[in-house]
A = this chain, B = another copy of it.
Amino acid sequence: MEDAEPKSPQRRRMSGRASVTIRDVARHAGVSVATVSRALRGSDLVHPSTRERVDAAIEELRFTPSQLGRSLAERRHAANGIVFPDLSGPFYAEVVLGYEEVAATLGRSVLILSTQNRESADEMVLDLAGRVDGLAVFGRTVHDDVVAEVVQRGVPVVLMARTEIQGADSVRTENVDAATSVVEHLLAHGHRRMAFLGDPSDSTDVAERWAGFRGALAQAGAEVPERTIRAGFKEDDGARVAAGLVADGLPDVVVCANDELALGLTVALAEQGIQVPGDVAVTGWDDVMAARYAGLTTVRQPMREMGARAARLLDARISGDRSEPRHDVLTTQLVVRRSCGPHPKEAHR
């Protein structure tokens, strides 16, 4: 009746508390492990009285089923991954938030990985891929062939803000139309000489914004700059180019690839006595919180929605959806504030 002879040589985990397993529960309740397992998953046919005994044993032993054992047997991780470059800045956090929210609702945990220029990023992504049922990858955090490898291993992948890859879904935000809106708005202000700050080779998004920018200028018959002013993504990068901009002669407006650049630039210009929008107009991209307080005209992107969308796409794939890859494009919105100059008629908040 009791658990008598201790036969296994080494017993339990040496450090920490002994973890109680499903077999302990079974013995304690006087049933088989199969029955305990059934009782555990609720659904099945177990006699009420038996279930009661099992529940009592579980309670008494403070048993918690091991996620590992379960996942191994079920051959699913019940977890999704998300890879992004940096997370610093207010931008990525929103994406992760949207992603986590949906994933959690769907009963999946979320594993995050920030590659931040780590040289071992590729391996880390491959490792991560081995721990999840699906993976969302933001921007160009990792080489195409690594993504391909992950896909090839049968792990569903959804790309965010990145050029499409064979066999993977993707979610992006609209860039060309938005750039056109920005340019048109600036033209309406009377601005003509426009510069673009950002590095198109940095990301698909920037490349598209630059293309849209040029296109709109050409369309309007305005002067189209040869090249962008190269810069990274941070406030520092924006600040760094201020001096050169002044030396080369200020344009009417600087369209920046993101808000941080625009804000950094604005501050650096002010330190040289140059006022925005008085002496030069500036626009950004993303509509981060600071943009509101700095009065920066920018383009709002539905970041949270992007994360949520990615999580839902992944869920569908994991659930067996074998249809053609989808490529969603989310719409963006011009947000006009004072950094682009005084506006005669536009709404201003």
Interface positions of A (Cβ within 8 A of B)? 13, 15-17, 19, 62, 64-69, 71-72, 75, 77, 79, 86-90, 92-94, 96-97, 100-101, 104, 109-114, 116, 118, 124, 126-128, 130-131, 153-154, 263, 288-290, 292-294, 320
Chain B hits for A130, CB < 8 A: 64-67
Given the contacts A16-B154, A72-B69, A104 and B113 also touching, CB distance less than 8 Å: yes
Contact (Cβ within 8 A) B131 A109: yes
Q: Which residue of B lies closest to A77 (CB)?
A: B68
Contact (Cβ within 8 A) A114 B109: no
Count of chain copies: 2
A346 to chain B, nearest CB (A): 19
A305 to chain B, nearest CB (A): 14
Q: Which 9 pairs of residues, A with B, have the shortest CB-CB distance?
A: A93-B93, A290-B290, A293-B294, A16-B154, A90-B90, A67-B130, A17-B154, A68-B72, A289-B290
A3 to chain B, nearest CB (A): 22
A238 to chain B, nearest CB (A): 13
Q: Which residue of B lies closest to A78 (CB)?
A: B131
Separation of A111 and B66 alpha carbons in the complex (Å): 17
Contact (Cβ within 8 A) A79 B114: no
> Which of B17, B67, B96, B293 is close to A293, meaning CB atoms less than 8 Å apart?
B293
A336 to chain B, nearest CB (A): 17
Q: Which residue of B lies closest to A118 (CB)?
A: B104
The 22 sampled A-B contact pairs (Cβ below 8 Å) are: A13-B75, A16-B154, A64-B126, A64-B153, A65-B130, A67-B127, A69-B72, A72-B72, A79-B111, A87-B93, A89-B93, A90-B93, A93-B93, A100-B113, A104-B114, A109-B113, A109-B127, A110-B113, A111-B111, A263-B293, A288-B290, A289-B289
20 new A-B contacts, CB < 8 A, other than A79-B131, A89-B289, A111-B111, are A15-B320, A17-B153, A64-B153, A66-B130, A67-B127, A68-B71, A69-B72, A87-B96, A88-B94, A88-B97, A90-B93, A92-B93, A93-B93, A104-B113, A104-B124, A110-B113, A111-B112, A288-B289, A290-B293, A293-B294
